[in-house]
A and B are shown apart, each in its own frame.
Chain A
Amino acid sequence: MNDDAQIAVDVRDAVKRYGDFTALQKISLGIRDNEFFTLLGPSGCGKTTLLRMIAGFEDVTEGAIFLYGDEIATLPPHQRPVNTVFQNYALFPHMTILDNVGFGLEMRGKSKSEARARAGEMLELVQLSQFAARKPSQLSGGQQQRVALARALAPSPKVLLLDEPLSALDLKLRKAMQIELKHIQRETGITFIFVTHDQEEALTMSDRIAVMSAGRMQQLGEPKDIYERPRNMFVADFIGETNLLEVSVDAINDGRAICHLGGGHELTCNAVDEVGVGSKVHMSVRPERLFLSDQPTESESLKGTIVENIFIGTDITTIIDLNDGPNFTVRTSNSDRGNKRIFEPGAQAYVNMEAGSARLLVD
């Protein structure tokens, strides 16, 4: 098997311009066969544009898109073997649920009875068989969502495109659908390309994530990778919660950078290739990687004053002000309270981290 067979969708130097405005700047990425791939970014970052280019609703200004080795960028949407789950479902209001799901099969030349039989199976998969004869308007949002999924899966597309399909659902339903989607993806073995602005959703569901912002791809990697090793400020800030601090790099030794935080505080960070000695850059350290103590520990310790404690259910968030330096946010799990002391506001304490918890970022 050659390498190309492993790549489901290959986007090469794709550019999208609307007049003077560039929505996508030279995006290249390879989405693997059988993968749950997520395009993640804030609204207006170009993720939906990229998805619509793969579906065929937007043409590609420059570059190419290959689907299992075939160039598809010039094909109209109805000739591309990919299907889409639309953000607001776009179910056909005048057709029954069964006819909605069977529509794609009928268009592919299946007889009405064949299409109906297969549509019935798909409705079973999403547990909506009893609604087959209803119209979309008679279904709840969550049910419509599942119909849209069944309709897109029915013609067995090579790749399924999902455009923020869960954004209209309430939190509880969304969580349940996340698990169901992931389950269906594994069961069918179809490559999923999922667009979302919800970083938690992306981390939960994806095999790999492409983080996008301002028409550029910021980082591509597995969820853990992106969370633990954000490459730049945008990714560190957008994914999860973090302490973002401006530092100046004093020395770099063996992959470790000595960083100056201001106020005489110093910290050892993980260095990155793009940042040299003397540069003023940002570093990131996750609040849950920090812990508080009344005495300095063997790891990195910085002295400060407790500003406040915020109780948020599973965790307690503490803000500590380094004397003459920046603030840190520290997160202590509620279940650790037995082992870890909670400091009252005004108390002096040390904020500690294991070596390698803090990372320098490319701006």
Chain B
Amino acid sequence: MDKNNLKNIPKDLFVPLVRKEDTSEKISAPSRTFFQDAKRTLFSNKPAVFSMILILFIIIMSIVGPWMNNYGSDEQDLKRAKMPPRVPAFENVSWLGMNGTLSGTFQGKDVQQASAKAKARFDNKEEFIDLEVINKGDGTRNSAEVKATYRIYEAKDMKDTYFWFGSDALGRDQWTRLWEGTRVSLIIAFVAALLDLVIGVSYGGISAFYGGRVDNIMQRIAEILVGIPNLVIILLMMLVLKPGIISIVIALSITGWIGMSRIVRGEVLKLKNQEFVLASRTLGTSNGTIIRKHLVPNISGIIIINTMFSVPGAIFFEAFLSFIGLGIVPPDASLGSLIDLGFDNLRLYPYMLVFPAIVISVLMIAFNIVGDGLRDAFDPKMHK
């Protein structure tokens, strides 16, 4: 600042400041609770929001999906087995693969041989097969190529029938089965996660809060449980219980809660010696109130995050069990059992695998992204 400028300051400014109000203790920032902050951080995270919408959509579809057409999930009819997907609006969009036709390219010595192969593949119903010659061939082996499109719905005289996602090897509607399967998978995942939460939080909480000998004994028990491979437990359980939702849930939660209990124990151990807990003790607050008012709210974030991550784990584990034949057995469907069935027909009828595979992948990725988003949201360092 130059000298002249300093001299030009009006003298009447050099009087003691008259304070209108005492502002020295004022807090200028707006008041926000921790959860409001967390919510704001979460909702500004676009991938997480998009994933939440996706999960919500899948959940809604798993409820209303099966009612959107008239097929039941176990209406078998071999006459209409293995029908390709056919959706009214997309019938004329050939690249979507939802126009109700089967197609394939066939090779032969010449066009005729290739065409014959195509016809043999598609029930010899020539009038419903459109042939398109891709390569005329020169007489050598497999040099000619023919693309055949089989209008199977017409061939089977089901012009007004639509299997949106096709039908499976027993003629059941895949759309209905897919959403029912998703529902079963989600129920298993949520119930398992909920059991993990209840058992894990109470076990870990009690172990850490009471400490000492209680903690010692409880942790040894948990270590023994963790030591047993859970596939062995499941195999044994399947001998005793009937395969189904309940047995999978039991199998999943028999050891699944240990991860949660360890995290909760660590957090409670850290928190219980914090000065605000000690202060509450000196006020004479009872243990129950301390747990309810001081401990649980402070670990709720980490519990929510951990539950969010255990849901996709449970979905995957259920799919794995069903896939190897230990989980949900037909006629009930789950994403795992649908993938198992689709896998058998992968080469000829890929749509049977594609749809459940897409749903399970989307679910897993979306839950993980939401979980990551929640972790950021509950990290106080992320909102300043």
Query: Do chains A and B stick together as partners?
Result: no
Chain A residues proximal to chain B, CB less than 8 Å: none
Chain B residues proximal to chain A, CB less than 8 Å: none
